[in-house]
Amino acid sequence: MKRLLLAASAAAIAGMAQADRYVMITHTMGTDPFWPVAETGGRDAATQIGAEFEHMFAPSGDMADMARLIESATATMPDGLVVTLPDAAALGQAVASATEAGIPVITINSGEEASKELGALMHIGQSSAMAGHGAGERLLAEGPVGKALCLNHEAFNTDLVTRCQGFFDALDQPLNMIDVSNDVAQIKTRTAAALQSDQEIDTLLAIAPHTCEAAAAAVEEAGATGAVKLVCFDLSPGVLDLIEAGKVDFTIDQQPYLQAYLAVTFLNLYNTRSGMIPPEDVPSGPGFVDATNAAAVREQAGTYR
């Protein structure tokens, strides 16, 4: 009996030692509520398959720092990498080096255009151009738009510029975008200043939940409630409150939990089922959330959506 117990213990220890390890590296400065939701998705998937999971990001938000994180993770030879590609020019070499080293990589959220050429297995996320264009089309269906302004909280993120450009393409207006920073206080201050300096602005596009909440406060501070329409991207309990209060027209959901959850799940299938992987990229959005369905997703906002 003792020998059987020792053998079982040794097998368990060996199994633990052989657990796959997946690393997710995202672009963030730690202030965006979007990424904790994605992290939960990746961690939940890893727990379900018995794998280890690490989420890393560069607090500086600097692309060179993010590239170094990808390089450092590559050096540890994980069983898979999940990475975002907000700037393919800055991060491409680091991602390509990982795939050349034989590490399976799945990109999520941003960088769909460059994903395959860098050797990634697939991309999971929404098309920023399509999502931005869809937001513009949805807005036009509700009535004419005078002058719009896009609030970009990550000036380095080319994917967000694409999102804003798609919106303005749908409106048939030239791109009008300002850098509001990733700091909530600065977002509010810069948005309010923009509204006060240009009375023709009647529409704001806020492309993150914290940007949306700060923009709503700026609209109120500028005395423009009812005169300026606010549309947003992504979910949070605060954004849903604003929708239900009639202060946000709609927001676009791209399901960050699903992006990371599927990435870890697909990497595990690729490793354990002889290269099993979907043949095409997987869209996780866009989906519209407005007053008609806000209550239905409230329980998931900030946790799973």
The whole-angstrom separation of Cα 120 and Cα 109 is: 13
pLDDT of residue 15: 44
Q: Which two tokens stand for residue 191?
A: 């948005």
pTM: 0.86
pLDDT of residue 1: 42
Options 3.90.550.10, 1.10.1060.10, 3.40.50.300, 3.40.50.2300; which CATH number does 128-253 get? 3.40.50.2300
DSSP 227: T
Inter-axis angle of helices 209-221 and 237-244, nearest 10: 40
Q: From first to last of its 305 residues, what are the pLDDT tens digits of the chain?
A: 444 344 444 444 444 457 899 999 999 766 678 899 999 999 999 999 999 999 999 888 899 999 999 999 999 999 999 999 999 999 999 999 999 999 999 999 999 999 999 999 999 999 999 999 999 999 999 999 999 999 999 888 888 999 999 999 999 999 999 999 989 999 999 999 999 999 999 999 999 999 999 999 999 999 998 899 999 999 999 999 999 999 999 999 999 999 999 999 999 999 999 999 999 999 999 999 999 999 999 888 888 88
**Is there a shared CATH topology between the 2-126+255-273 domain and the 128-253 domain?**
yes
pLDDT of residue 207: 95
Pairing of strands 80-83, 105-108: parallel
DSSP 120: -
pLDDT of residue 2: 40
CB 107 within 8 A of CB 89: no
Q: Which two tokens stand for residue 281?
A: 């990229």
Strand (E) positions, the chain? 21-26, 52-57, 80-83, 105-108, 122-125, 147-152, 177-179, 201-206, 229-233, 251-253, 282-283, 287-289
In CATH terms, the fold of domain 2-126+255-273 is: Rossmann fold (3.40.50)
pLDDT of residue 6: 40
Domain ranges of the chain: 2-126+255-273, 128-253
DSSP 279: S
